[in-house]
Structure 1
Amino acid sequence: TRTLASLFGPLQPMALAEDLAAPLLALPIPDGAADAAATAHAPAAGPSVPDRFTVARGLAVVPVRGILTPNMTQYERWFGWATYHGLAETLAHLAASEDAAAIVLEIDSPGGLVCGIEAAAEAIAAVGAVKPVHALVSPLAASAAYWLASQASEIVMTPGSVAGSIGVALTAAAHVQPGANGAQIFEMSSRHARAKRPDASTEAGRAELQRSLDEAEAAFHAAVSAGRAIPAAELAARLSVTDDPQDGGATFRASEAIRRGLADRTETRAAFYARLTARTAPKPRSPSRAFAARAAAAQAVARS
C-alpha cells in the first residue's frame, strides 16, 4: 500500500516536524487518488474541496490542518488539509468581507513544504493590517505551520498544545554501489546546471544543499522576527535549547513558548471563542433604533 510519504520526494526543503508528521505520512493514499494526487491541477475526483472557512457572529474561522503544500488540492479533497494557495485566496476574500470583523486561524499541523509558504505568510500579514488575525494553536503549530502563525496579530495556545520546530531540513541520498540488477545508475545535468542535482556524497554537493537550507531558514527567521517583534540578532538564541544558538528547531509547550516570546497566552477553546465573539458579534439594536429602521424601510417602500 502506497502511503502519503511516497509523494514527497528527496531534496525538497521541508519545514516539518517529522516525528509529529509521521502518523499523517503513514496514511494510505485513498483508492482512486494516487494518480490525481501527483498533479496539483488534476481533475476533480471523489470528494469536493471542503469549505475553507466559516463565519459566525462576525468571526471567520479558517482551519489550517495537515501537511501543508503549495496547491495540492487532492489533499484538500481527501483529508481537508490546507494549502498555501487556498489560504492566500481565502484571506484575500475575508479581508474584503464585511461579514468578518476578525479572523481565526485554527491550527493543527506539523508543517509542510517550504515552497510557496511565503505567499501565504504575506497574505496573513496583509490582512492583519486590515482586521485582527488570531492564531489558535489547537493543538499543534510546528515548523511551516508556526511560520504562518507567527504572522498573526496574536498566538493563543490551548492547554497541552505544542508550537515551534523553527528550521528547515531535507533528505538526500547518493548511490554507493550498483543496484541489485547489476546496473550502475548515473545522474547527469547540463554543463552549467550542476546545482540541479547536488551530490550529497561530495563536499561541493553538501555545500549546495546547505546553502539552500540556510537560505530557506533565513526567510523563516526573518518572518518570525518581524511577526513576533523579536530582534533578529536575538532569535536564534531564543530558539536554542542550549547555550549554542545552533541548537534550535525544538518544539515547546505553551508556558515555554510564551516565555520565549513565541506565543502570547494560553486559553481553552471555549474561553478563546467567547472572548473574541464578545467583540465581533453584532450588538442588538435598542427598541427605538429598531422601530426607526422599520419606519424608514416602510417609507422607502411606500415611495417606490
Structure 2
Amino acid sequence: MRNEAAALIAAIRAQPWAIMPEYLEAIEAIAVRALAADVLQLLARDGHAERMPANLEAVAAVGTRLDGSRGSTIRNGNAVVPMIGTIFPRASMINASTGGTSLDALMHDVRVAEASADVERIVMVIDSPGGVVSDVGAAADMLRATTKPITAYVAGMGASLAYWLGSQASELVLDRAASVGSIGVVATTTRQEGADANGRRSYEIVSSNAPFKRPDMSSEDGRAAVQAEVDAIESVFLADVAAGRRVTVDRVRESFGRGAMVPAARAVEVGMADRIGTLESILSQGPGRTRANTGRSRALAAAEVELRLRAAQGV
C-alpha cells in the first residue's frame, strides 16, 4: 500500500498544475487518504467544499436538462454549464473522490450548447481552485472561438485554471463575495534522501542523453529546468488571459494579482472581470449581446481602465 501511495503521489506531481497550491496538497492528501492532514483542515475553513453541492444544486434547479449534455441545463435560451471543484482533463478516480470537473465533459457540454438551436447564450457557473493544465490551451481557444456569447459567472472562487478558462468568456460576472486570480503555474516533486520506514531506498538511473527527464531538484540545474517548464506554461496562461480580457500581457502580469486572489470589487476595477451580479439576474436578463458586440464593449472598457491606471500612475 505504501508503494502504491508513493506511485500515486508521483503521478500527481508528474505534471504542472494551474491551481491554488494548498489545493494541490489537499489532492495529494486525499489520494493517499491522509484525511487528518492539516491542509485539509485549512481548506475546510474556506467554505469551498460546502459551496460545491449547493452550486451544483443551483445549476440543476435553474432549468431543464440540456439534451445531449453531461451535466448542463437550459433556461430562457441560456445553457448553464457548471465548472465546480478541481478541474481534471478527464474523469478520474481522484476527481470522483474530491468532487470536481472533467475538462473533457465541460467542453463536450459547450459543444452541445454551441450546436443547439435552442441555446442563444452559454453561461458557465464557476467555483473552482483550478486544476491540471493538460488540454487547457485547446479549451481556451475553443471558448474564445464560439459563435454564441459566453457569460462566465463566478459564484465563489475562480482561481488559476478556472480563471484561465473563465477569462475567455464574452463577459465575466462575479458574485459580490467572489474572488478571482491565482494566475500562475506550480510544479512539485520529492527526492528520497534516506531509507523509508521499511528500510528500503529507491534508486533511479536516467539514460545518459536525457538528464532533464527527471530533473534533480536538489541541484541548481534541475530546479532551473523545472522553472523553465512552468514559466513556459505561464506565458501561455498570460497570453490567453490577455486575449480573453482584451488587454496587454504586461497589464495581466502587473495588475491581475501577481499570483494572488483578488476580491470581486477590485477585480472589476482593474479589468479582471466586467461587473458584479447574480446568477438569477444573468438568466433573467436574457442572452442580450452578441459575442462581437460584447468584445467591442469590453475593449472600450479595458481602454478606459488602462487610461485611469496611467493617470493614477502619472504616466
What is the TM-score normalised by the length of structure 2?
0.71
Task: Label 1:233 to 1:79 Cα distance change in 2 as closer, same or farther (>3 A).
Answer: closer
Whether the 8 Å contact between 1:54 and 1:60 is mirrored in structure 2 is yes
Q: CA deviation at 1:272?
A: 2.3
Name the counterpart of 2:295. Answer: none
Name the counterpart of 2:245. Answer: 228
Per-residue deviation, residues 223-261 of structure 1 (Å, max 9, x unmatched):
001000111133211134xxxxxxx10001111111121
Give secondary structure in 1 for the equivalent of 2:172.
strand
Distance 1:172 1:73 in 2: 21
Distance 1:196 1:21 in 2: 22
Distance 2:192 2:165 in 1: 36
Per-residue deviation, residues 61-118 of structure 1 (Å, max 9, x unmatched):
0000111011125567666632221222222222111010000000011000111211
Distance 1:211 1:68 in 2: 24
Name the counterpart of 1:13. Answer: 16
Task: Label 1:28 to 1:209 Cα distance change in 2 as closer, same or farther (>3 A).
Answer: closer
Name the counterpart of 2:78. Answer: 59
Whether 1:264 aligns to 2:274 is: yes
Distance 2:121 2:287 in 1: 9
Distance 1:77 1:168 in 2: 23
Name the counterpart of 2:228. Answer: 211
Name the counterpart of 1:188. Answer: 205
Q: Which runs of 5+ in 1 are unaligned?
A: 31-49, 241-247, 281-304
Distance 1:28 1:76 in 2: 10
RMSD (CA atoms): 2.9
Whether the 8 Å contact between 2:89 and 2:134 is mirrored in structure 1 is yes
In structure 2, give the amino acid aligned to 1:265: R
Task: Label 1:76 to 1:57 Cα distance change in 2 as closer, same or farther (>3 A).
Answer: farther
Q: CA deviation at 1:170?
A: 1.5
Per-residue deviation, residues 6-25 of structure 1 (Å, max 9, x unmatched):
66622421111134677777
Q: Which runs of 5+ in 2 are unaligned?
A: 34-68, 291-315
In structure 1, give the amino acid aligned to 2:83: V
Structure number, greater radius of gyration: 1
1:251 paired residue among 228, 252, 261: 261
Whether the 8 Å contact between 2:120 and 2:287 is mirrored in structure 1 is no
Name the counterpart of 2:118. Answer: 99
In structure 2, give the amino acid aligned to 1:121: A
Whether the 8 Å contact between 2:158 and 2:179 is mirrored in structure 1 is yes
What is the TM-score normalised by the length of structure 1?
0.74
Whether 1:124 aligns to 2:143 is: yes
In structure 1, give the amino acid aligned to 2:85: G
Distance 2:30 2:198 in 1: 31
Give secondary structure in 1 for the equivalent of 2:82.
strand
Whether the 8 Å contact between 1:104 and 1:133 is mirrored in structure 2 is yes
